[in-house]
Structure 1
C-alpha cells in the first residue's frame, strides 16, 4: 500500500507542519495541540507503517530499528514534495525526525522534539543487548503491547475504557474521545478494533533505536534550529537524561512542561503550544 498522507488542518497554501507521532497513537489525538498552529501552517502526518493498511510487521532481527521510520519519512517528504517543513516529532516520532534532519537537513525549516525516546545510557545498553540476544520479549512495554485489548463493542465503550485508565488521567474528555473515535476502526459487524494494531506497537517497542547516543553529538552541527521539550514527570525521556542532553547540546533550546508526563502533547496542548510558539517567534522572526 502506498504511504498515506493525513490532513490535520490548515490551508494547503500555508507552510507545511509535519507531525511524527508516538507509538500506538493516532494523529487526531494531537488536534488540540495542532489547532494552535493551523492558522499559519498546513498540518500533515506521514504515518508509520502501522497505519498504512493490513500489512503485518516484518520479522524481528537485531538489524531492525527505527531508522526504518526515518527511511519512510524521507521517502514521503520526497514523494509528496514537502519543503521547508516545520517538524514536530513526539516520542519515537521524535527520533525518526531527528535522524531525518541529520540525514537530509535541507527539507526542514525548524524542528521540535516532544519528549523524544532518548533513554539513559544504561537502559539503552540493556535494550541493545536484549535485541542482540533475542530477549526483547522480556521487556514490559513489549509484553503490555502484546496483551493489549484490541476489540470494543462501540466507540462509547472504547471511550469509557480509555477514560478510566491512568494513562489518560490528565487528558481532556475531548482528547480521549478523539482517541476512542479515531484510534478504533469500525468492522463489518459493528464492533471496533484498534486502528494501530498491537502487533505493530510491540514491534516498534522491540526495535528501539539504540545508537541514539552516537547520533546526539552530531546535532551540534545541525544547520536547522531545534527545540527539545521534555515532560517534567516523564518516564521515558526522564529528567536525568534530559539534563544530560542539555549539557551535551547547550546550543539547542530545551524546555520543560512541568507536572506532565510523556504524553504532554495530549495532556497539556495549550502549554505545549505556548512553549513552541514563543520559540518559533524567536528563531523564525
Structure 2
C-alpha cells in the first residue's frame, strides 16, 4: 500500500482548520493531513506586523510533525503563510498551493504600507469589523441561524456552515462564543504583509495559485506579478474568496488538478 503523502493545511483568518472538514475529507485517501487548528493563539508566537511569529509557529509545527517534505495547501491567511514558509525553509516543502492568497504586486504592497503608516489600514482589510462583530449566542443553533444567508456566509455549503459553527465556537456561560479570539483576528488583518516584493527570485518550491472569479481580493496586477516574478502557476475558480466552503468537493478537485500541474499528482 502506498505511503500517504504529507499534506499540511493552513486555514483562513478566523476559520479554524477543523471547520474545513468537508473540503479536507477529499484528501483523506492518499494524504497524511496535518494542521494547526487556530493559528496565532499560542502565546509563544505573538501576532505582529508581517506575521513573523505565525511563520515561526507554522515552521516549527511542520518540522516537528512530518518526516519528509510536505505539500502545503493554504487558504487566504494560510496561503500567505505557506508562501512565506516555503521561501524561508524550502527543504521542508515539495509543492505549495495558494487558495485565494495573491502575492501582492509592488503597488498593492505600497498601499498596505501606507495604510499602516498613516492609520487607514482598517479600510484596506476586513480588520475594521473584527473587534466589534457579534461573538456570543445562546446556542450553536442560534449561531447557525445568525450566519445563515448573511454576508460572506451567504454562499456556504450548509454542511460547511454547520462545521464552522461546530469547530469555531466553544461553550461560554449559558451559550457559546467564537473560538477564534477577535483581537487576534484583528491583529492578523492589520498586520497583513506589505513586503512581498522583497522575496522576488527567492521562491524555490513549485507553487500554484487558485483564485475565485468572484473574489474581491484577486487583481490582474497580482496575477501577472505572481507569474512573472515567482513563476507561480495560476488558475481561476468559479466562486468567491471563501470557495473551499462554498464548493468543497470542486475546490478539492481544483487543488488536485493544480498538484498534477506541479508534478505532484497521483494521490487521492
- Report the TM-score, using the length of structure 2 for normalisation: 0.88
Question: Is the 1:226–1:252 Cα contact (8 Å) retained in structure 2?
Answer: yes
The answer for unaligned runs of 5 or more in structure 1 is: 1-12
In structure 2, the residue matched to 1:253 is 233
Q: Shift in Å at residue 48 of structure 1?
A: 4.8
In structure 1, the residue matched to 2:175 is 191
In structure 2, the residue matched to 1:25 is 15
Question: Is the 1:155–1:181 Cα contact (8 Å) retained in structure 2?
Answer: yes
CA distance in 1: counterparts of 2:108 and 2:30, whole angstroms: 40
Taking structure 1 as reference, are residues 57 and 135 closer, same or farther at Cα in structure 2, changes over 3 Å only?
farther
Asked if residue 238 in structure 1 is aligned to residue 219 in structure 2, the reply is yes
Task: Map residues 1-285 of structure 1 onto 2, 5 A cutoff.
Answer: 14-52=4-42, 64-137=49-122, 139=124, 141-187=126-172, 189-219=173-203, 222=204, 224-249=205-230, 251-258=231-238, 260-282=239-261, 283-284=263-264
Q: Shift in Å at residue 148 of structure 1?
A: 1.2
Question: Is the 1:232–1:239 Cα contact (8 Å) retained in structure 2?
Answer: no
Q: Shift in Å at residue 137 of structure 1?
A: 4.8
Q: Shift in Å at residue 38 of structure 1?
A: 0.7
Q: Which has the higher contact order (CA 8 A, sep 6+)?
A: 2
CA distance in 1: counterparts of 2:126 and 2:120, whole angstroms: 13
Question: Is the 1:57–1:200 Cα contact (8 Å) retained in structure 2?
Answer: no
SS of residue in 1 equivalent to 2:27 = coil
SS of residue in 1 equivalent to 2:101 = coil
Taking structure 1 as reference, are residues 50 and 72 closer, same or farther at Cα in structure 2, changes over 3 Å only?
closer
Taking structure 1 as reference, are residues 162 and 57 closer, same or farther at Cα in structure 2, changes over 3 Å only?
farther
CA distance in 2: counterparts of 1:130 and 1:158, whole angstroms: 33
CA distance in 2: counterparts of 1:17 and 1:146, whole angstroms: 33
The answer for unaligned runs of 5 or more in structure 2 is: none
Question: Is the 2:140–2:169 Cα contact (8 Å) retained in structure 1?
Answer: yes
Question: Is the 2:14–2:185 Cα contact (8 Å) retained in structure 1?
Answer: yes
In structure 2, the residue matched to 1:7 is none
RMSD: 2.4
Q: Shift in Å at residue 171 of structure 1?
A: 1.1
Q: Shift in Å at residue 56 of structure 1?
A: 11
- Report the TM-score, using the length of structure 1 for normalisation: 0.83
